[in-house]
Structure 1
Protein backbone atom coordinates (compact mmCIF):
# COMPACT_ATOMS: atom_id res chain seq x y z
CA UNK A 1 0.00 0.00 0.00
CA UNK A 2 1.23 3.49 -0.80
CA UNK A 3 2.48 5.02 2.47
CA UNK A 4 1.15 8.55 1.80
CA UNK A 5 -2.28 7.12 1.03
CA UNK A 6 -2.22 5.00 4.17
CA UNK A 7 -1.19 8.04 6.24
CA UNK A 8 -4.07 10.08 4.76
CA UNK A 9 -6.56 7.36 5.66
CA UNK A 10 -5.14 6.95 9.17
CA UNK A 11 -5.22 10.67 9.98
CA UNK A 12 -8.59 11.37 8.36
CA UNK A 13 -10.33 8.08 9.16
CA UNK A 14 -13.39 9.57 10.83
CA UNK A 15 -14.15 11.99 7.99
CA UNK A 16 -13.58 9.37 5.28
CA UNK A 17 -15.78 6.87 7.12
CA UNK A 18 -18.53 9.47 7.58
CA UNK A 19 -18.42 10.23 3.84
CA UNK A 20 -18.57 6.59 2.76
CA UNK A 21 -21.27 5.63 5.25
CA UNK A 22 -23.54 8.47 4.06
CA UNK A 23 -23.06 8.00 0.30
CA UNK A 24 -25.99 6.47 -1.58
CA UNK A 25 -26.10 2.69 -1.25
CA UNK A 26 -24.04 0.87 -3.88
CA UNK A 27 -27.09 -0.78 -5.38
CA UNK A 28 -25.22 -1.69 -8.57
CA UNK A 29 -22.54 -3.48 -6.53
CA UNK A 30 -25.19 -5.20 -4.41
CA UNK A 31 -27.11 -6.43 -7.46
CA UNK A 32 -23.96 -7.87 -9.03
CA UNK A 33 -22.92 -9.53 -5.78
CA UNK A 34 -26.33 -11.20 -5.58
CA UNK A 35 -25.93 -12.33 -9.20
CA UNK A 36 -22.35 -13.64 -9.14
CA UNK A 37 -21.38 -14.49 -5.54
CA UNK A 38 -22.29 -17.80 -3.90
CA UNK A 39 -22.92 -17.95 -0.17
CA UNK A 40 -19.70 -18.75 1.64
CA UNK A 41 -16.61 -17.15 3.14
CA UNK A 42 -16.19 -13.68 1.61
CA UNK A 43 -13.30 -11.21 1.93
CA UNK A 44 -13.82 -7.46 1.54
CA UNK A 45 -10.26 -6.37 0.74
CA UNK A 46 -9.58 -2.72 1.55
CA UNK A 47 -12.90 -2.52 3.36
CA UNK A 48 -12.54 1.07 4.59
CA UNK A 49 -15.41 1.95 6.95
CA UNK A 50 -16.81 -1.58 6.68
CA UNK A 51 -20.05 -0.52 4.99
CA UNK A 52 -19.90 -3.19 2.28
CA UNK A 53 -18.62 -5.83 4.71
CA UNK A 54 -21.61 -5.17 6.97
CA UNK A 55 -23.98 -5.39 3.98
CA UNK A 56 -22.42 -8.70 2.93
CA UNK A 57 -22.82 -10.05 6.47
CA UNK A 58 -26.46 -8.89 6.67
CA UNK A 59 -27.16 -10.69 3.39
CA UNK A 60 -25.90 -14.12 4.45
CA UNK A 61 -22.26 -14.01 3.37
CA UNK A 62 -19.65 -15.04 5.94
CA UNK A 63 -17.78 -11.77 5.45
CA UNK A 64 -14.53 -10.49 6.90
CA UNK A 65 -13.13 -7.02 6.26
CA UNK A 66 -9.40 -6.72 5.50
CA UNK A 67 -8.04 -3.18 5.92
CA UNK A 68 -4.45 -1.86 6.13
CA UNK A 69 -5.33 1.48 7.77
CA UNK A 70 -5.44 1.26 11.57
CA UNK A 71 -7.66 4.35 11.66
CA UNK A 72 -10.19 3.04 9.15
CA UNK A 73 -10.21 -0.39 10.75
CA UNK A 74 -11.01 1.22 14.12
CA UNK A 75 -13.87 3.15 12.48
CA UNK A 76 -15.19 -0.06 10.88
CA UNK A 77 -15.06 -1.91 14.21
CA UNK A 78 -16.85 0.96 16.00
CA UNK A 79 -19.55 1.32 13.34
CA UNK A 80 -20.09 -2.41 12.69
CA UNK A 81 -19.21 -4.21 15.96
CA UNK A 82 -20.73 -7.55 14.91
CA UNK A 83 -18.50 -7.87 11.82
CA UNK A 84 -14.89 -9.19 11.94
CA UNK A 85 -12.12 -6.91 10.65
CA UNK A 86 -8.41 -7.73 10.33
CA UNK A 87 -5.24 -5.92 9.31
CA UNK A 88 -4.01 -6.87 5.84
CA UNK A 89 -2.51 -4.87 2.98
CA UNK A 90 -2.17 -5.47 -0.73
CA UNK A 91 -0.22 -6.75 -2.50
CA UNK A 92 0.91 -9.24 0.17
CA UNK A 93 -2.22 -9.80 2.30
CA UNK A 94 0.03 -11.29 4.98
CA UNK A 95 -1.73 -13.85 7.16
CA UNK A 96 -4.39 -14.71 4.59
CA UNK A 97 -4.16 -18.32 3.41
CA UNK A 98 -4.49 -19.31 -0.26
CA UNK A 99 -7.81 -20.85 -1.34
CA UNK A 100 -9.65 -19.38 1.68
CA UNK A 101 -12.62 -17.57 0.18
CA UNK A 102 -15.61 -18.32 -2.01
CA UNK A 103 -15.80 -14.62 -2.91
CA UNK A 104 -13.42 -11.67 -2.86
CA UNK A 105 -14.64 -8.08 -3.13
CA UNK A 106 -12.00 -5.41 -3.80
CA UNK A 107 -13.84 -2.14 -4.42
CA UNK A 108 -11.76 0.89 -5.54
CA UNK A 109 -8.49 -0.10 -3.87
CA UNK A 110 -5.84 -1.04 -6.46
CA UNK A 111 -5.52 2.52 -7.78
CA UNK A 112 -3.88 3.30 -4.42
CA UNK A 113 -0.98 0.97 -5.32
CA UNK A 114 2.16 1.79 -7.25
CA UNK A 115 1.70 0.61 -10.85
CA UNK A 116 4.28 -2.18 -10.43
CA UNK A 117 2.32 -3.56 -7.45
CA UNK A 118 -0.99 -3.93 -9.32
CA UNK A 119 -0.12 -7.25 -11.03
CA UNK A 120 1.12 -8.89 -7.80
CA UNK A 121 -1.95 -7.58 -5.94
CA UNK A 122 -4.39 -9.01 -8.48
CA UNK A 123 -2.50 -12.34 -8.46
CA UNK A 124 -2.83 -12.42 -4.66
CA UNK A 125 -6.56 -11.67 -4.82
CA UNK A 126 -6.99 -14.67 -7.12
CA UNK A 127 -4.69 -16.75 -4.89
CA UNK A 128 -6.94 -16.33 -1.82
CA UNK A 129 -9.99 -17.51 -3.81
CA UNK A 130 -11.05 -21.14 -3.73
CA UNK A 131 -11.29 -22.82 -7.15
CA UNK A 132 -14.61 -21.73 -8.64
CA UNK A 133 -14.60 -18.61 -6.46
CA UNK A 134 -15.50 -15.15 -7.76
CA UNK A 135 -13.50 -11.92 -7.67
CA UNK A 136 -15.28 -8.55 -7.90
CA UNK A 137 -12.62 -5.93 -8.65
CA UNK A 138 -12.99 -2.20 -9.34
CA UNK A 139 -10.74 0.82 -9.47
CA UNK A 140 -11.21 4.52 -10.14
CA UNK A 141 -10.27 5.38 -13.72
CA UNK A 142 -7.47 7.91 -14.21
CA UNK A 143 -5.36 8.65 -17.28
CA UNK A 144 -2.32 9.68 -15.21
CA UNK A 145 -0.88 8.97 -11.78
CA UNK A 146 -1.99 11.75 -9.44
CA UNK A 147 -2.52 12.60 -5.79
CA UNK A 148 -5.46 14.39 -4.24
CA UNK A 149 -5.15 17.23 -1.69
CA UNK A 150 -4.79 14.69 1.14
CA UNK A 151 -1.91 12.91 -0.61
CA UNK A 152 -3.86 9.81 -1.65
CA UNK A 153 -2.45 8.15 -4.77
CA UNK A 154 -4.78 7.60 -7.71
CA UNK A 155 -2.62 5.65 -10.13
CA UNK A 156 -3.56 5.01 -13.75
CA UNK A 157 -4.27 1.26 -13.61
CA UNK A 158 -3.33 -0.59 -16.80
CA UNK A 159 -6.30 -2.72 -17.85
CA UNK A 160 -4.09 -5.05 -19.92
CA UNK A 161 -1.93 -5.81 -16.87
CA UNK A 162 -5.01 -6.62 -14.80
CA UNK A 163 -6.57 -8.84 -17.47
CA UNK A 164 -3.27 -10.65 -18.14
CA UNK A 165 -2.98 -11.36 -14.42
CA UNK A 166 -6.47 -12.84 -14.45
CA UNK A 167 -5.35 -15.50 -16.94
CA UNK A 168 -6.33 -18.31 -14.55
CA UNK A 169 -9.89 -16.98 -14.44
CA UNK A 170 -12.94 -16.74 -16.67
CA UNK A 171 -13.97 -13.11 -17.14
CA UNK A 172 -17.67 -12.73 -16.38
CA UNK A 173 -18.03 -8.94 -16.58
CA UNK A 174 -15.83 -6.14 -17.92
CA UNK A 175 -17.22 -2.60 -17.92
CA UNK A 176 -16.43 1.05 -17.29
CA UNK A 177 -19.28 2.84 -15.51
CA UNK A 178 -20.15 5.70 -13.19
CA UNK A 179 -20.44 4.43 -9.62
CA UNK A 180 -23.94 4.77 -8.17
CA UNK A 181 -22.39 5.35 -4.74
CA UNK A 182 -19.50 7.76 -5.39
CA UNK A 183 -20.43 9.27 -8.77
CA UNK A 184 -16.86 8.58 -10.02
CA UNK A 185 -15.90 6.68 -13.18
CA UNK A 186 -14.74 3.18 -12.28
CA UNK A 187 -13.66 0.09 -14.18
CA UNK A 188 -15.27 -3.11 -12.96
CA UNK A 189 -14.24 -6.71 -13.58
CA UNK A 190 -15.86 -9.88 -12.28
CA UNK A 191 -13.91 -13.10 -12.75
CA UNK A 192 -14.27 -16.75 -11.72
CA UNK A 193 -11.18 -18.74 -10.73
CA UNK A 194 -10.80 -21.97 -12.65
Structure 2
Protein backbone atom coordinates (compact mmCIF):
# COMPACT_ATOMS: atom_id res chain seq x y z
CA UNK A 1 0.00 0.00 0.00
CA UNK A 2 1.33 3.44 -0.93
CA UNK A 3 1.91 5.62 2.10
CA UNK A 4 -0.17 8.78 2.35
CA UNK A 5 1.88 11.90 1.61
CA UNK A 6 1.14 13.49 4.97
CA UNK A 7 2.67 10.53 6.80
CA UNK A 8 5.92 10.94 4.89
CA UNK A 9 6.16 14.70 5.43
CA UNK A 10 5.16 14.50 9.09
CA UNK A 11 7.75 11.82 9.78
CA UNK A 12 10.51 13.69 7.96
CA UNK A 13 9.63 16.97 9.68
CA UNK A 14 9.73 15.54 13.19
CA UNK A 15 12.91 13.62 12.39
CA UNK A 16 14.47 16.97 11.49
CA UNK A 17 13.53 18.71 14.74
CA UNK A 18 13.55 15.86 17.27
CA UNK A 19 16.50 17.10 19.36
CA UNK A 20 15.22 20.67 19.57
CA UNK A 21 11.64 19.56 20.23
CA UNK A 22 12.71 17.35 23.12
CA UNK A 23 14.71 20.14 24.73
CA UNK A 24 11.91 22.68 24.31
CA UNK A 25 8.88 20.70 25.45
CA UNK A 26 10.19 18.11 27.91
CA UNK A 27 8.89 20.05 30.94
CA UNK A 28 5.76 21.53 29.37
CA UNK A 29 3.23 19.32 31.15
CA UNK A 30 4.43 20.55 34.54
CA UNK A 31 3.10 24.01 33.59
CA UNK A 32 -0.36 22.74 32.47
CA UNK A 33 -2.61 21.90 35.46
CA UNK A 34 -5.76 21.50 33.36
CA UNK A 35 -4.03 19.04 31.05
CA UNK A 36 -2.73 17.06 34.01
CA UNK A 37 -6.25 16.92 35.44
CA UNK A 38 -7.65 15.65 32.13
CA UNK A 39 -4.96 12.98 31.90
CA UNK A 40 -5.58 11.98 35.53
CA UNK A 41 -9.31 11.57 34.80
CA UNK A 42 -8.51 9.40 31.80
CA UNK A 43 -6.13 7.27 33.88
CA UNK A 44 -8.74 6.85 36.62
CA UNK A 45 -11.34 5.70 34.08
CA UNK A 46 -8.95 3.15 32.58
CA UNK A 47 -7.99 1.80 36.00
CA UNK A 48 -11.64 1.63 37.12
CA UNK A 49 -12.48 -0.56 34.12
CA UNK A 50 -9.74 -3.07 34.79
CA UNK A 51 -6.67 -1.36 33.38
CA UNK A 52 -5.00 -3.07 30.46
CA UNK A 53 -2.34 -1.71 28.11
CA UNK A 54 -2.61 1.95 27.10
CA UNK A 55 -1.15 3.16 23.80
CA UNK A 56 0.08 6.74 23.50
CA UNK A 57 -0.41 7.09 19.74
CA UNK A 58 1.77 9.86 18.32
CA UNK A 59 3.87 9.78 21.48
CA UNK A 60 6.72 11.93 20.16
CA UNK A 61 9.47 12.13 22.78
CA UNK A 62 7.46 10.06 25.25
CA UNK A 63 6.94 12.82 27.81
CA UNK A 64 3.20 12.07 28.18
CA UNK A 65 3.78 8.31 27.97
CA UNK A 66 5.99 8.64 31.03
CA UNK A 67 3.33 10.70 32.77
CA UNK A 68 0.74 7.98 32.10
CA UNK A 69 3.10 5.45 33.65
CA UNK A 70 3.40 7.69 36.71
CA UNK A 71 -0.42 7.70 36.90
CA UNK A 72 -0.36 3.92 37.27
CA UNK A 73 -1.05 2.87 33.68
CA UNK A 74 0.68 0.16 31.66
CA UNK A 75 1.61 2.69 28.96
CA UNK A 76 3.64 2.36 25.80
CA UNK A 77 4.23 4.70 22.87
CA UNK A 78 3.78 4.60 19.10
CA UNK A 79 5.09 7.25 16.71
CA UNK A 80 5.93 7.79 13.05
CA UNK A 81 9.31 9.42 13.63
CA UNK A 82 12.36 7.23 14.39
CA UNK A 83 14.28 10.20 15.77
CA UNK A 84 11.44 11.21 18.10
CA UNK A 85 11.30 7.60 19.27
CA UNK A 86 15.05 7.67 19.90
CA UNK A 87 14.48 10.66 22.20
CA UNK A 88 11.63 8.82 23.91
CA UNK A 89 13.81 5.78 24.56
CA UNK A 90 16.62 8.00 25.83
CA UNK A 91 14.38 9.83 28.31
CA UNK A 92 12.30 6.77 29.30
CA UNK A 93 14.42 3.63 28.81
CA UNK A 94 12.06 1.64 31.03
CA UNK A 95 9.14 2.07 28.62
CA UNK A 96 8.30 0.43 25.28
CA UNK A 97 8.18 2.55 22.13
CA UNK A 98 7.32 1.34 18.64
CA UNK A 99 7.31 2.90 15.18
CA UNK A 100 3.90 2.95 13.52
CA UNK A 101 1.01 4.88 12.01
CA UNK A 102 -2.39 5.53 13.57
CA UNK A 103 -3.95 4.65 10.21
CA UNK A 104 -2.74 1.04 10.50
CA UNK A 105 -1.85 0.16 14.08
CA UNK A 106 0.15 -3.04 14.49
CA UNK A 107 -2.05 -4.19 17.37
CA UNK A 108 -4.59 -7.01 17.71
CA UNK A 109 -8.31 -6.25 17.85
CA UNK A 110 -9.46 -5.36 21.37
CA UNK A 111 -5.92 -5.18 22.76
CA UNK A 112 -6.09 -1.91 24.69
CA UNK A 113 -7.69 -0.70 27.88
CA UNK A 114 -6.98 2.85 26.79
CA UNK A 115 -5.68 4.91 23.90
CA UNK A 116 -4.32 8.44 24.04
CA UNK A 117 -3.88 10.64 20.95
CA UNK A 118 -2.40 13.78 22.51
CA UNK A 119 -2.02 16.43 19.80
CA UNK A 120 -1.27 13.79 17.17
CA UNK A 121 -4.52 13.73 15.16
CA UNK A 122 -3.84 17.42 14.42
CA UNK A 123 -1.59 16.33 11.55
CA UNK A 124 -4.19 14.00 10.01
CA UNK A 125 -6.13 15.46 7.04
CA UNK A 126 -9.91 15.48 7.40
CA UNK A 127 -10.41 12.75 4.81
CA UNK A 128 -8.18 10.34 6.78
CA UNK A 129 -9.61 11.04 10.23
CA UNK A 130 -12.46 8.49 10.01
CA UNK A 131 -9.89 5.77 9.23
CA UNK A 132 -7.83 6.74 12.28
CA UNK A 133 -10.90 6.67 14.51
CA UNK A 134 -11.92 3.30 13.08
CA UNK A 135 -8.47 1.99 14.05
CA UNK A 136 -8.87 3.40 17.56
CA UNK A 137 -12.21 1.59 17.86
CA UNK A 138 -10.71 -1.65 16.55
CA UNK A 139 -7.80 -1.84 18.98
CA UNK A 140 -9.75 -0.79 22.09
CA UNK A 141 -11.23 -3.54 24.22
CA UNK A 142 -14.95 -3.32 24.98
CA UNK A 143 -15.21 -0.72 27.72
CA UNK A 144 -11.82 0.76 26.75
CA UNK A 145 -11.27 4.51 26.96
CA UNK A 146 -10.02 7.06 24.43
CA UNK A 147 -8.68 10.57 25.08
CA UNK A 148 -7.91 13.12 22.37
CA UNK A 149 -6.13 16.45 22.83
CA UNK A 150 -6.07 19.02 20.03
CA UNK A 151 -6.34 22.72 19.24
CA UNK A 152 -9.92 23.99 18.90
CA UNK A 153 -10.90 26.03 15.85
CA UNK A 154 -11.63 25.90 12.15
CA UNK A 155 -8.29 26.76 10.55
CA UNK A 156 -5.10 25.06 9.45
CA UNK A 157 -1.73 26.41 10.61
CA UNK A 158 1.01 25.56 8.12
CA UNK A 159 4.68 25.60 9.07
CA UNK A 160 7.55 25.35 6.63
CA UNK A 161 10.16 26.18 9.27
CA UNK A 162 10.59 25.16 12.91
CA UNK A 163 13.60 25.50 15.20
CA UNK A 164 15.52 26.88 12.22
CA UNK A 165 14.93 23.76 10.12
CA UNK A 166 12.82 23.13 7.03
CA UNK A 167 9.60 21.26 7.75
CA UNK A 168 6.23 20.59 6.12
CA UNK A 169 3.68 20.47 8.93
CA UNK A 170 -0.02 21.28 9.02
CA UNK A 171 -1.73 21.75 12.39
CA UNK A 172 -5.47 21.24 11.93
CA UNK A 173 -7.68 22.97 14.46
CA UNK A 174 -11.07 21.31 14.87
CA UNK A 175 -14.28 21.94 16.75
CA UNK A 176 -14.93 19.42 19.56
CA UNK A 177 -18.48 18.91 18.34
CA UNK A 178 -17.26 17.78 14.92
CA UNK A 179 -14.67 15.45 16.45
CA UNK A 180 -17.36 14.00 18.69
CA UNK A 181 -19.57 13.35 15.65
CA UNK A 182 -16.77 11.45 13.93
CA UNK A 183 -16.03 9.39 17.04
CA UNK A 184 -19.70 8.51 17.35
CA UNK A 185 -19.78 7.48 13.69
CA UNK A 186 -16.81 5.19 14.42
CA UNK A 187 -18.85 3.44 17.12
CA UNK A 188 -17.48 5.16 20.22
CA UNK A 189 -19.56 6.70 23.00
CA UNK A 190 -18.45 10.28 23.70
CA UNK A 191 -18.30 11.02 27.44
CA UNK A 192 -16.57 14.40 27.78
CA UNK A 193 -16.04 17.46 25.60
CA UNK A 194 -14.23 20.42 27.12
CA UNK A 195 -12.25 23.46 25.96
CA UNK A 196 -9.59 25.43 27.82
CA UNK A 197 -9.13 29.02 26.74
CA UNK A 198 -5.86 30.40 25.37
CA UNK A 199 -2.96 30.93 27.75
CA UNK A 200 -0.71 33.79 26.67
CA UNK A 201 1.23 34.52 29.87
CA UNK A 202 3.26 31.35 30.18
CA UNK A 203 6.50 29.81 29.05
CA UNK A 204 4.50 28.06 26.31
CA UNK A 205 2.21 30.74 24.81
CA UNK A 206 -0.70 29.58 22.68
CA UNK A 207 -2.61 30.85 19.66
CA UNK A 208 -5.74 28.67 19.97
CA UNK A 209 -7.98 27.19 22.68
CA UNK A 210 -7.20 23.62 23.69
CA UNK A 211 -9.85 20.91 23.33
CA UNK A 212 -10.15 17.52 25.03
CA UNK A 213 -12.60 14.77 24.11
CA UNK A 214 -12.99 11.51 26.00
CA UNK A 215 -14.89 8.53 24.61
CA UNK A 216 -15.44 4.88 25.44
CA UNK A 217 -15.92 1.76 23.37
CA UNK A 218 -19.29 0.19 24.26
CA UNK A 219 -19.13 -2.99 26.26
CA UNK A 220 -21.44 -4.77 23.81
CA UNK A 221 -21.78 -4.45 20.05
CA UNK A 222 -25.30 -3.76 18.84
CA UNK A 223 -28.49 -3.71 20.85
CA UNK A 224 -28.40 -2.34 24.39
CA UNK A 225 -25.10 -0.60 25.23
CA UNK A 226 -23.55 0.70 28.43
CA UNK A 227 -25.21 3.94 29.34
CA UNK A 228 -28.63 3.00 27.82
CA UNK A 229 -31.63 3.72 30.01
CA UNK A 230 -35.21 2.47 29.97
Asked whether the two chains share a fold, i.e. TM above 0.5, the reply is yes
Flag structure 2 segments of 5+ consecutive residues without an equivalent. Answer: 1-5, 163-167, 219-230
How many Å apart are 1:22 and its aligned residue? 2.0
How many Å apart are 1:15 and its aligned residue? 0.8
- Taking structure 1 as the reference length, the TM-score comes to 0.89
Asked which structure has the greater RCO (Cα within 8 Å, sep 6+), the reply is 1
Structure 1, 66-75 or 160-169: larger mean CA deviation: 160-169
Structure 2 residue 52 is the aligned partner of structure 1 residue 28: no
How do 1:32-47 and structure 2 match up within 5 A?
32-38=41-47, 39-47=51-59
Structure 2 residue 142 is the aligned partner of structure 1 residue 131: yes
How many Å apart are 1:2 and its aligned residue? 3.7
Equivalent of residue 99 in structure 1, options 91, 102, 110: 110
Matched residue, 1:59? 71
How do 1:28-177 and structure 2 match up within 5 A?
28-38=37-47, 39-93=51-105, 95-148=106-159, 149-150=161-162, 151-157=168-174, 159=176, 161-167=178-184, 168-177=187-196
How many Å apart are 1:178 and its aligned residue? 4.0
Aligned length: 193
How do 1:13-24 and structure 2 match up within 5 A?
13-24=18-29
CA RMSD, 1 decimal: 2.2
- Taking structure 2 as the reference length, the TM-score comes to 0.76
User: In the TM superposition, what whole-angstrom CA distance separates every residue of 1:3-44 from its partner, at most 9, and x where no partner exists?
Assistant: 323222101101111222121424233332244222321110
Larger radius of gyration: 2
